[in-house]
Structure 1
Amino acid sequence: MECSKIRRKDRAITDYHQMLEIMNQCDICRLGLQDDESVYIVPLNFGFKADNEELTLYFHGFVKGKKIELIKKNKLAGFEMDRKHEIVKAEIACDYSFLYQSIIGKGNLFIIEDKDEKIDALQYLMEHYTQKNDWQFSENELNKIVVIKMNVTQWSCKEH
């Protein structure tokens, strides 16, 4: 997997473990999907698995809807997440600034069909928010949702 190019090298975070720590502290991932002539952006809860510098993101949602239709039409998607927001005030408007940490990237989306893989993905998602990964899911609950995985092909992280 490669890192995206960042114009402001002085703001780039390139340490893999630091990037994962920032990701772990983000609450929402915005997924950008191609919608004919425009982009459809949807904020989602997420979980992730990092294995030997390979990154997989997991999302869930209802089995029908625009997001699922768009994923079925085009597997390539972009994502963004951010945290640590703070405004920096100044005496003149052009000296105002904003502090943040952000992650952007892209990858290929897949709808998980296998029940065991679906449960594993949901465990990653739940662990991200609860630090617990031994949840039980009923057959009925699993049938009501779709679980999506993104194999991340490129990502970068920066802070200001």
Structure 2
Amino acid sequence: MKKKKRQVTDLETIKEFVAETQVARLAFFDEEYPYIVPVNFAEKWQEDQLILYIHGAKDGKKIDLIKKNPKVAIEMDGKHELIATGRNAAGYSYAYQSLIGFGEVEIIEELAEKRQALEDLMAHAAPMAEYDEIPEKMIKITGILKITLNSYTMKQNPPKKTSN
């Protein structure tokens, strides 16, 4: 990381950022170019290891690429805000938080783990929502991917504090 002052190492800050982020970009190895897709996700922490679950079709390009190479990269970002100080272009910057990680994907088939992942996805996306139990038929036809990150880094450029 080029600008160490922007690196975030506090695990609680990282967990809070992941919890409030709704979309991650998932990058796969493909033939000529990387293949990147935005996904909704649920997170699970095992101490400081981050695990993500995503849902989708049980076949298609993502699944084909995973079968060829299960290594992936993820990116998520948020808290975007233009920082403008003065009339000179050098006085402009951008506030943000971002996380980049690298890991491996596995396709989940076991029904209890798939059910838990779907419930976690609902809790992440709509924490206040009430919904009926997910039917087993739906669980069986839904593809669930588990992404275990081997490493990740987070950085931020917080907005400048203004004084009144």
- Give TM-score scaled by structure 1 length: 0.90
| Alpha-carbon contact 1:58-1:148 (below 8 Å) kept | yes
| Alpha-carbon contact 2:42-2:117 (below 8 Å) kept | yes
DSSP-derived class of the 1:99 partner: strand
Where does residue 3 of structure 1 map in the other structure?
Answer: none
Equivalent positions of 1:58-69 (< 5 A) are 58-69=53-64
Q: Would you say how many aligned residue pairs link Structure 1 and Structure 2?
A: 155
> Given the alignment, which residue of 148, 151, 155 partners 2:152?
155
Runs of 5+ in structure 2 lacking a partner? 158-164
> Given the alignment, which residue of 128, 133, 136 partners 1:136?
133
Shift of 1:135: 6.0
Structure 1 moving runs of 4+ over 4 Å: 132-135
Looking at structure 1, the residues matched to 120 and 44 of structure 2 have their Cα atoms a distance apart, in angstroms, of 7
Cα displacement string for residues 73-98 of structure 1 (whole angstroms, at most 9, x for unaligned residues): 11000000011001123523343211
Runs of 5+ in structure 1 lacking a partner? 1-5
Looking at structure 2, the residues matched to 44 and 143 of structure 1 have their Cα atoms a distance apart, in angstroms, of 20
Structure showing greater Rg = 2
Looking at structure 2, the residues matched to 84 and 135 of structure 1 have their Cα atoms a distance apart, in angstroms, of 33
Shift of 1:134: 8.3
Where does residue 127 of structure 1 map in the other structure?
Answer: 123
- Give TM-score scaled by structure 2 length: 0.88
Shift of 1:129: 1.6
Identity %: 37
Equivalent positions of 1:3-152 (< 5 A) are 6-89=1-84, 90-131=86-127, 136-152=133-149
Change (3 A) 1:137 1:49: same
